[in-house]
Amino acid sequence: MRRLHVWLLVVLVLISGAAVVESCAQAPPPQAEAASIAPSAGQLQGQVEKLQQQVAEARGAGDNAWLLVSSALVLMMTGPGLALFYGGLVRRKNVLATMMQSFTLMALITVMWALFGYSLAFSSGSRFMGGLDYVFLRGVGGLPDADYAATIPAQTFMVFQLMFAIITPALITGAFAERMKFSAMVLFTVLWSLIVYSPMAHMVWGKGGLLNAALGGAFPTLDFAGGTVVHITSGVSALVCALYLGRRLGFPKEPMRPHSVVLSVIGACLLWVGWFGFNAGSALAAGSLATSAFVATHFAAAAAALGWAGAEWIRNGKPSVLGAVSGGVAGLVAITPASGFVAPMPALAIGLIAGVVCYLMVTKVKGKFGYDDSLDAFGVHGAGGTVGALLTGVFASSAINPLFKDGQGHSLAMGLLEGNARQLLNQGVGTVIAWVLAIVGSLVILTVVDRLVGLRVPDEHEIQGLDLSQHGEEGYNWET
């Protein structure tokens, strides 16, 4: 019996050993098991590509959000910003008519931009004017246009640029305030947007433009956010309008004080805030360049406000509120072309210089020549834009925005202080073209409009005020 137990035990041991050997033979080696768990090279590549796509989508969403906010900020500059700023500077009987001009342009230029304005400015065409590829916004949708902004929809870029097209002719209205017919204003601004603004925008920012610094223009002019396109064209056109229309009745013998500096201060503050979208938004991405432009914008405005107020304090013994806010606007104008190219300290210098220069233009030059630029559109925007455009060629830095590169991709000098003296010449060319286009274009348009509908209101309407004579309303009803 004992032997039987021993044999059974031996048989069980042999059977168990065989089973263990068989299972070991069937099991994959450790290396094979690890290989089956680890992803293949193709799987890794797919995971990397998916991660890169998610990062790109997140970046695009952030950039798009910033540009949409910037678009709203720039629109706010026209209404209520500019409407309040200009509205407070005119006499009480013209406040509604002045504000109505800004509001009307918000609607009028939008429709024009959608139909053909955007195409004339930003589609491919000649060196001087865009083509008709984007008429009725054909092909302007959710996909980016890499030539302009690779991370945001083309439609976002279009609406951002629309806000610039709105405020530019609105700036001109300050020169002919209190004396131009509403019908003449509508016709003038429509023609001006087509004949002056769209060609200048195309030359500086459009594909194949003569002055485009980013896309191979013949005279690469640095204009980050519209020193030439917006401020020089509008400011110089404002001077032409003031000279063509002549002075207001009673100017300069009768006092024509602002009816509400309070409204103008509120408007100027809204302009200051909105200008962050104007300049920092022109980086077309929510990155470090937007931050640099934001800082430069704020610093220049602050320095210019102090420069104007200081000059006024020295001359008159006291600084005025209107002078301080006008100086702030002058600094914002001057830094516009330079905002994406200069460091904070040059931004302070540009603002300070612009504040003093624009103060002298408004208080000395205007008085010497006797032209009636009602709300100093030329003294601030024409002069400030010119100063800013030229100083951009002096202070532009490759450390801030290395736009110019050699064939190997190495950064080249940007401005005069970095050794690129030619850039100052390019800035001069761009400035001269903006001046000539504004002068010639405005003169032609004013002549045509004058013959078609007449420019000035009758004397009795001007005496009565444009609120009642042009719109049948009053800004302030004291009886109620």
Question: Is-contact 173 241, C-beta < 8 A?
Answer: no
Instruction: Please indicate, yes or no, if residue 273 is contained in any of the structural domains.
Output: yes
Reported as a pLDDT band with limits 50, 70 and 90, residue 480 is: low
Instruction: Please indicate, yes or no, if residue 172 is contained in any of the structural domains.
Output: yes
SS3 for 40? coil
Q: What is the DSSP string of 183-210?
A: HHHHHHHHHHIIIIIHHHHHHHHSTT-T
**Which pLDDT does position 28 carry in this prediction?**
52
CATH value at residue 298: 1.10.3430.10
CA angle (263 as vertex; 302, 387 as ends), nearest 5 = 35
Dihedral of alpha carbons 308, 417, 433, 147, sign: negative
SS3 for 130? strand
Nearest residue to 91 via CA among 476, 409, 352, 438: 476
Tens digits of per-residue pLDDT, 178-211?
Answer: 999 999 999 999 999 999 999 999 999 999 999 9
Instruction: Please indicate, yes or no, if residue 34 is contained in any of the structural domains.
Output: no
SS3 for 180? strand
Residue-range definition of the domain harbouring residue 441: 45-471
Question: Is-contact 90 295, C-beta < 8 A?
Answer: no
Question: Is-contact 227 211, C-beta < 8 A?
Answer: no
Instruction: Please indicate, yes or no, if residue 130 is contained in any of the structural domains.
Output: yes
Tens digits of per-residue pLDDT, 260-283?
Answer: 999 999 999 999 999 999 999 999
Quick one: average pLDDT of 55-68? 88
Instruction: Please indicate, yes or no, if residue 450 is contained in any of the structural domains.
Output: yes
Per the structure, how many domains does the chain have? 1
Could you tell me the two tokens for 117? 């304005």
Helix (H) or strand (E) run with residue 291 in it: helix 288-316
H-helix segments, 27-124: 30-37, 41-76, 83-89, 95-112, 118-122
Reported as a pLDDT band with limits 50, 70 and 90, residue 442 is: very high
Tens digits of per-residue pLDDT, 315-335?
Answer: 999 999 999 999 999 999 999
- Among 7-16, 163-172, 253-262, 316-325, name the one with the lowest average pLDDT: 7-16
How far apart, in whole angstroms, are the C-alpha atoms of residue 304 and residue 326?
9
**Which pLDDT does position 60 carry in this prediction?**
85
431 burial (CB, 10 Å; 0-12 / 13-18 / 19+) is buried
Instruction: Please indicate, yes or no, if residue 476 is contained in any of the structural domains.
Output: no
Residue 376 backbone zone (phi > 0: left; psi -120 to 50: alpha; other: beta) = left
**Which pLDDT does position 55 carry in this prediction?**
75
> Is 79 a residue whose pLDDT tops 60?
yes
Instruction: Please indicate, yes or no, if residue 20 is contained in any of the structural domains.
Output: no
Instruction: Please indicate, yes or no, if residue 89 is contained in any of the structural domains.
Output: yes
Residues ≥6 apart with Cβ < 8 Å to 188: 180, 241, 445, 446, 449, 455
Q: Please name the residue that has the structure tokens 């504040």.
A: 355
* pTM beyond 0.85: yes
